[in-house]
A = this chain, B = another copy of it.
Amino acid sequence: MEKTKLSLKTLTRLSLYYNITCEYIENEKEYITSREVAKRLRIDDSQVRKDLKFINATGKTKVGFETSYLKKMLETNLNFHIKKDVFIIGAGNLGTALAKYGEFKHYGLNVLALFDNTPEKINHEIKDKKIFHISKLPEMAKKLNVNIAILTVPKIAAQDVANTLVDAGIKYIWNFSPVVLELPDEIKVWNENLAASFVTFSCQEIYRQE
């Protein structure tokens, strides 16, 4: 029962299928068709069936996919059951928003603590998660065996802080700063560049409409 590596685009779509499936369950709908999912996402319905085939989810002819079954299949294949402990670096508004974000727990994302360098913030708590001084990070990363960091510090500090993270043994960085970090090849970086995202959105949808 080998899991084949799913493409980035398939993974993103599967996550959105999950959101839609959960909504159907909340509305007490027992089945959902590939056509309904496709229509909501404005994509082709054979794309949906193909994606679901990748995770070996099967539907029923004439009725579609059973929602409770589909939800479980998606959870299993998207590794929701594997707990992913993370630190949030930067306790500003964005770091705080992410620390409070209740949705993450369904996905296995578990925020253990926040780090900042502002003296007034240290030892405060956000939703039971304590804010520590950044100097405590290496020690705590080792002790708690954390190798994932969410980086939400200001642009000017991003590269320096990222270097500190790498020295502390962090291997995976979810980068919210508008900086393309320069890091060793073995460190995995996922850029969540909001400004870049807005540019894409606005150029695609706002000024280039046919």
Interface residues, chain A, with chain B CB atoms under 8 Å away: 3, 5-6, 8, 11-12, 14-16, 18-20, 23, 40-42, 78-79, 82, 84, 92-94, 96-98, 100-101, 103-104, 106-109, 148, 155, 172, 174, 178-180, 182, 185, 188, 190-208
Task: Kindly list chain B residues whose C-beta atoms are within 8 Å of the C-beta of A191.
Answer: 16
Interface centre among A16, A188, A199 (most CB of B within 10 A): A199
Name the contact of A101 in the complex, choosing from B96, B194, B204 (C-beta under 8 A): B194
A174 to B200, CA, bound (A): 11
Complex CA distance for A163 and B172, rounded to whole angstroms: 38
Q: List 18 A-B contacts (CB under 8 A).
A: A5-B208, A8-B200, A12-B199, A15-B195, A16-B180, A18-B196, A20-B180, A41-B180, A42-B185, A84-B202, A93-B93, A93-B96, A96-B97, A98-B194, A109-B195, A109-B198, A148-B206, A190-B205
Measured in the bound complex, the distance between the Cα atoms of B204 and A78 in whole Å is 10
Chain B residues positioned under 8 Å from A19 (CB to CB): 178-180, 193, 196
Take A11-B204, A82-B207, A207-B79 as given contacts and tell me if A180 and B40 are in contact as well, using a CB distance cutoff of 8 Å.
yes
